[in-house]
Amino acid sequence: MEKSVPMNDWKAMKAQRAINRVHLFIHGAALAALFYYRITTIATTTSSSTHFVAHLVIFTAELTLSFIWLLSQASLWNPVARTVYPERLPSDDDLPSLDVFICTADPVKEPSLGVMNTVISALALDYPPTKLHLYLSDDGGSPVTLRALQQARSFAKVWLPFCRKYKLKNRCPQPYFLGEEIIGLEEGRVGDSDSDSDSDHSFVDKKAIEEAYEDFKISLGKIVIEEDVGASRDHSSTIEVMSDDEEFPLVVYVAREKRPSHPHNFKAGALNVLLRVSGMMSNSPYILSLDCDMYCNDPTSARQAMCFHLDPKLSQNLAFVQFPQIFHNIRRNHDIYDGAMRFIWTKWDGLNGLRGPVLSGTGFYIKREALYGIRKLQPNVDLNQLKEYYGSSNEFIKSIYRSYKTNFPSTDESLQKEVQLLASYSYDKGFNLHCEGWISVYFAPSRPCFLGSSPISLSETLVQNMRWFLGLSQVALSKYSPLVYGAMRMSVLQSIAYAELACYPIYFLPVYILAFLPQLCLLAGLPLYPQACLLLALFVSSPFFAVFVFVLISSQLKQAQEVMASGDSLRTWVNEHRVWVMKSLTSYSFAVANAILEKMGLAKASFVPTSKVTDGEVDKLYQMGKYDFQAPPAFMVILCSIYMINLGALVIGFGRVLVNGKINEMAMQAFLPLFGVILHYPLMEGMVLRKDGGRVSPSVSLLSALVSSLLLSAYALLSQY
Ligand X SMILES: O=c1ccn([C@@H]2O[C@H](COP(=O)(O)OP(=O)(O)O[C@H]3O[C@H](CO)[C@@H](O)[C@H](O)[C@H]3O)[C@@H](O)[C@H]2O)c(=O)[nH]1
Partner from Mn ion, ligand X, none contacting 468, C-beta within 5 to 8 A by type:
ligand X
212/204 Cα distance (integer angstroms): 13
CB of 83 to ligand X, least distance (A): 26
**Burial level of 483, CB count in 10 A (0-12/13-18/19+)?**
middle
CB nearer to Mn ion: give 291 or 311. 291
Considering the complex, state which of residue 267 and residue 680 has its C-beta at the smaller distance from Mn ion.
267
3-state SS string over 12-62? Answer: ECHHHHHHHHHHHHHHHHHHHHHHHHHHHHHHHCCCCHHHHHHHHHHHHHH
| Segments of 64-131 assigned E as strands | 80-84, 98-104
What minimum distance in Å lies between the beta carbon of 362 and ligand X?
Answer: 4
Tell me the binding residues.
109-110, 139, 267, 291
Q: Is 102 helix (H, G, I), strand (E, B) or coil?
A: strand
Question: Least distance to Mn ion from the beta carbon of 178, Å?
Answer: 20
Minimum distance between the CB of residue 471 and ligand X, rounded to whole angstroms? 6
Q: How far apart are CA 590 and CA 587, in angstroms?
A: 5
Instruction: Show the binding pattern over residues 274-293: x = contacts Mn ion (CB under 5 A), - = does not.
Output: -----------------x--
**Of 270 and 321, which has the nearer Cβ to ligand X?**
270
Nearest distance, CB of residue 140 and ligand X, angstroms: 8
CB of 462 vs ligand X, minimal distance in Å: 12
Nearest residue (CB) to ligand X, 137 versus 283: 137
Residue 361 site contact among Mn ion, ligand X, none (CB < 5 to 8 Å, cut-off depends on kind): ligand X
- State the alpha helices, DSSP H only, in 438-482: 458-477
The residues that touch ligand X, with contacts defined as CB under 6 A, are 103-105, 110, 137, 139, 266-267, 270, 291-292, 325, 361-362, 464, 467-468, 607, 609-610
CB atoms near residue 205 (< 10 Å): 18
Residue 257, helix vs strand vs coil: coil
Q: Which is nearer to ligand X, 114 or 676 (CB)?
A: 114
What CA–CA distance (Å, rounded) separates 396 from 454? 37
- Residue 595 has, within 13 A of its CA and on its CB side, a CA count of 23
Dihedral sign for Cα atoms in the order 373, 378, 382, 383: positive
- Is the N-terminal amide bond of 249 cis, ω within 30° of 0? no
Contacts of residue 567, defined as CB under 8 A and 6 or more positions apart, other chains included, come to none
- Give, in order, the Cα–Cα distances in Å from 302 to each of 7, 203, 267, 298, 661: 13, 30, 22, 9, 68
Q: Which residues are annotated as a binding site for Mn(2+)?
A: 267, 291
Over the window 291 to 310, marking each residue x when it contacts Mn ion by CB under 5 A and - when it does not, the resulting string is x-------------------
For residues 176 and 574, what is the distance between their CA atoms, to the nearest angstrom? Answer: 33
Considering beta carbons, is residue 106 or 369 the nearer one to Mn ion? 106
- 302 or 451: whose CB is closer to Mn ion? 451
**How far is 197 from 76, CA to CA, in rounded Å?**
47
Our CB check for Mn ion shows the closer of 291 and 349 to be: 291
Q: Which residue is nearest to ligand X (CB)?
A: 361
Residue 440 near residue 318, CB atoms below 8 Å: yes
- Residue 103 interacts with, from ligand X, Mn ion, none (CB under 5-8 Å by kind): ligand X
Supply the minimum distance, in Å, between the C-beta of residue 448 and ligand X: 14
Please tell me the chain's helix, strand, coil percentages from 3-state DSSP, rounded to the nearest 5.
Answer: 55, 10, 35
- The Cα 270–Cα 256 span in angstroms is 7
Nearest-approach distance from CB 597 to ligand X, in angstroms:
18
**Pick from 601, 602, 632: nearest CA to 696:** 632
Number of residues that bind Mn ion (CB under 5 A): 1
Rounded Cα gap, residues 60 and 509, in angstroms: 9
Residue 359 Cβ vs ligand X, minimum distance, rounded to whole Å: 8
Reduced to 3 states, what is the DSSP secondary structure of residue 84?
A: strand
In the complex, what is the shortest distance from the CB of residue 112 to ligand X, in angstroms, rounded to a whole number? Answer: 12
Tell me the β-bridge partners of 19: none
Cβ proximity to ligand X, 264 vs 558, nearer residue: 264
Cα separation, 559 vs 556, whole angstroms: 5
Of the pair 134, 400, the CB lying nearest ligand X is at 134
Binding residue ranges for UDP-alpha-D-glucose:
109-110, 139
By C-alpha distance, which of 294, 314, 298 is closest to 306? 314
- Interacting residues toward Mn ion by CB under 5 A: 291
